[in-house]
């Protein structure tokens, strides 16, 4: 083992002994000493990079990024794709002290009224995955009401100026992507207007730690209407890029309000040992 690796291991060991068990798990899992009360929680690297780009300054901290906006420090952590990945990273983030989780990512549409490029805010999630049931006793998991009201109120005027429709409704969280069939999609459409692979797990895990969570997503496809993901249609790609760009800007502008909400939850929530 190289000398600098031995020093790093020694420092990590000493720091770990000073932490609570939960903080220690978060530290070794995320490889960062600090996590903000507000955590932006995109699923993939492309969505994370576009989100970080919206902030004036960012630095990498282990497996997370720190962005700074209007004097506020915010962590950006990639959840990974699918509920099993959310189960791992979501627990680490909550153990690390997060009080507000904002999933900023993409989803597919199940309703003919929801189009590619639209913004979808998940007021609740219907679980069709295998993870959520282990954390939440019901199939339908709600978003945090206060966070939902705050984000929706702030986002609508921005979206109206950009002429991008905003939908608020239920998303279906499923365990598969390429194996989806029309029969499955029609069945899920009876329970929600959109479909993804993470939101129900995010909401359920956050609820188990008394953490506020909300998913805001840009629609990339509507398979039931023949609008498939990874389309080469330039107009659809433009709408997706424009929609996510607006969402990223909205998150940046709302950061002070979201951070204030997170701080208020820190003061209300007793410290977990």
- Cα end-to-end span (Å), the chain: 34
**Of 37, 118, 144, 221, which one is the catalytic site residue?**
221
Q: Are strands 212-221 and 100-109 parallel, antiparallel or unpaired?
A: parallel
Cβ atoms of 92 and 86 within 8 Å: the answer is no
CA distances from 174 to 82, 83, 171, 179, 199 (A): 8, 8, 10, 11, 9
Report CA 260 to chain centroid distance, whole Å. 18
In the chain, what's the furthest Cα-to-Cα distance? Answer: 61
Among 62, 10, 77, 7, CA closest to 31: 62
Q: Are strands 166-173 and 140-142 parallel, antiparallel or unpaired?
A: unpaired
Instruction: Work out the burial of residue 237: count CB atoms within 10 Å of its CB; fewer than 13 is exposed, 13-18 middle, 19 or more buried.
Output: middle
Instruction: Work out the burial of residue 14: count CB atoms within 10 Å of its CB; fewer than 13 is exposed, 13-18 middle, 19 or more buried.
Output: exposed
- Clarify whether 221 is annotated catalytic: yes
Kind and range of the H or E run holding 157? helix 145-162
Q: Which residues of 133-142 are buried (b: 16+ CB within 10 A; e: fewer)?
A: eebbeeeebb
Active site residues: 221
């Amino acid at each position: 083992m190289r000398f600098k690796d031995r020093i790093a291991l020694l420092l990590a060991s000493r720091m770990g002994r000073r932490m609570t068990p939960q903080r220690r798990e978060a530290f070794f899992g995320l490889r960062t000493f600090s996590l903000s009360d507000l955590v932006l929680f995109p699923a993939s690297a492309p969505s994370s990079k576009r989100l970080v780009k919206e902030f004036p300054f960012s630095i990498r901290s282990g497996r997370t990024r720190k962005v700074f906006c209007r004097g506020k420090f915010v962590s950006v952590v990639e959840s990974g794709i699918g509920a099993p990945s959310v189960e791992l990273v979501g627990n680490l983030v909550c153990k690390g002290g997060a009080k507000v989780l904002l999933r900023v990512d993409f989803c597919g549409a199940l309703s003919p009224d929801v189009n590619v490029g639209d913004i979808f805010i998940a007021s609740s999630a219907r679980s069709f995955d295998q993870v959520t049931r282990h954390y939440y006793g019901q199939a339908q998991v709600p978003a945090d009401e206060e966070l939902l009201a705050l984000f929706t109120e702030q986002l609508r005027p921005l979206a109206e100026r950009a002429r991008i429709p905003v939908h608020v409704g239920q998303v279906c969280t499923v365990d598969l992507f390429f194996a989806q069939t029309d029969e499955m999609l029609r069945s899920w459409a009876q329970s929600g207007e959109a479909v993804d692979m993470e939101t129900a797990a995010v909401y359920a895990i956050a609820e188990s730690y008394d953490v506020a969570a909300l998913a805001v997503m840009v629609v990339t496809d509507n398979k039931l209407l023949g609008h498939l993901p990874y389309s080469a249609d330039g107009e659809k790609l433009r709408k997706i890029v424009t929609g996510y760009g607006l969402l990223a800007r909205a998150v940046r502008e709302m950061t002070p309000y979201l951070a204030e909400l997170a701080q208020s939850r820190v003061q209300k929530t007793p410290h977990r040992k």
